Amino acid sequence: MLETIILCMSASIIFSQVVLAMLVLCPRCKLISPNLVSLPQTAIARREIALTFDDGPHEEITPQILDHLDLHNAKATFFCIGEKVAVYPDLVAEIIRRGHSVENHSYRHHTFFAFGSPNLLENEISKTQKMIEAATHGIAPRFFRAPFGFRSPFLGGVLRRMSLRHVAWTRRGYDTTCRNPDTVFRRLSRNLAAGDILLLHDGNSRRATTGHAVVLDVLPRLLELCKHKKLHSVSLSTIFTDIQTLPTDRQPNQYK
Ligand SMILES: [Zn+2]
């Protein structure tokens, strides 16, 4: 009898750990904490989408992305890594100068970020906030994206205390691993619609067989498609400007 009880308890502990691990490793999950995975109805009505670029800034790729965006009068959101901001503060300032927003993507982009203590999470995020604020002369990020999209159960509380909201994505092209720009473009463009949040990378972008960064091949085609579909890419800070001062937990209707 005792053996059966111990067995059942062990099975239940293992099951709960597996469920928790699945939630942590599911970037678009909304069960463990608020998570923005698409834009609100007001943005959809305006036929807006959000292009987001992670893991930068990158000295060679980010300026070219900015030029492509300018050509199409498109605005985007850059989720920057703190230690790269420390190396390229002028590039971060240039992103802001060109009308885009710069947001927080942790300080080191550590593989095991999701398994860190609340103190470690807070330290990684606050260090990056300060770094970006210094580079942009006082423009503090209002959004955070976890490295790889993996979220600790502690992250929601840390972000709430820091008045940041977590942003995932609607669709991604896997441009850090896929060397074929056609495949990446197909993943991002299939059923592209207003309200979508697209994940691309200016940092860590894979090189195609031609030697060019995949993102630089895909982005112009994506922007042409947006034009054809009458979709406008805007930055997250523009979309959410009206609810800037309200804390995350008072805006449940903004999280689908
Ligand atoms: Zn990343």
Q: With bands split at pLDDT 50, 70 and 90, how would you rate the model's confidence at 3?
A: confident
Report the alpha-carbon distance of residue 247 to residue 256 in Å, rounded.
17
Q: Which whole-number Å values give the CA distances from 182 to 62, 89, 95, 231, in the listed order?
A: 21, 33, 27, 21
Q: Residue 141 pLDDT more than 50?
A: yes
Q: In the prediction, which pLDDT does 74 show? A: 98
Q: Has 217 been annotated as catalytic?
A: no
Could you list which residues have their CB under 5 Å from ion ligand 1?
A: 54-55
* CB of 200 closer than 8 Å to CB of 49: no
The torsion angles phi and psi of 174, rounded to 5 degrees, stand at 55, 45
Which among 71, 92, 68 is positioned nearest to 200, based on CA atoms? 68
Is residue 252 very low, low, confident or very high in pLDDT (cuts 50, 70, 90)? very low
Give yes or no: 201 in active site: yes
Question: If you measure from the C-alpha of residue 103 to the centroid of ligand 1, how many angstroms do you get, rounded to a whole number?
Answer: 12
Residue found under tokens 């860190």: 116
Percent of the chain residues topping a pLDDT of 70: 85
User: What's the confidence (pLDDT) of residue 254?
Assistant: 35
Enumerate the H helices of the chain as residue ranges. Answer: 2-24, 41-45, 61-71, 82-87, 89-97, 118-135, 155-161, 181-189, 214-228, 236-239
Q: Fill in the amino acid letter for 203.
A: G
Domain ranges of the chain: 41-254
When the candidates are 3.20.20.210, 3.20.20.370, 4.10.91.20, 3.90.110.10, the CATH number that belongs to 41-254 is 3.20.20.370
Active-site residue identified among 54, 175, 196, 202: 54
The whole-number average pLDDT for the span 199-228 is 95
Least confident of 24-28, 107-111, 178-182, 221-225: 24-28
- Asked whether the beta carbons of 218 and 188 are under 8 A apart, the reply is yes
Query: For position 248, what pLDDT does the model report?
Result: 40
Structure letter (DSSP) for residue 91: H
Residue 249 pLDDT:
39
The residue length of the chain stands at 256
pLDDT by residue (tens digit) across 70-99? 999 999 999 999 999 999 999 999 999 999
pLDDT, tens digit, 9 for 90 and up, residues 24-51: 667 877 777 889 999 999 999 999 999 9
User: What is the Cα–Cα distance from 42 to 114, expressed in whole angstroms?
Assistant: 32
**Residue with more model confidence, 210 or 155:** 155
Answer whether the bond into residue 40 is a cis peptide, omega within 30°.
no
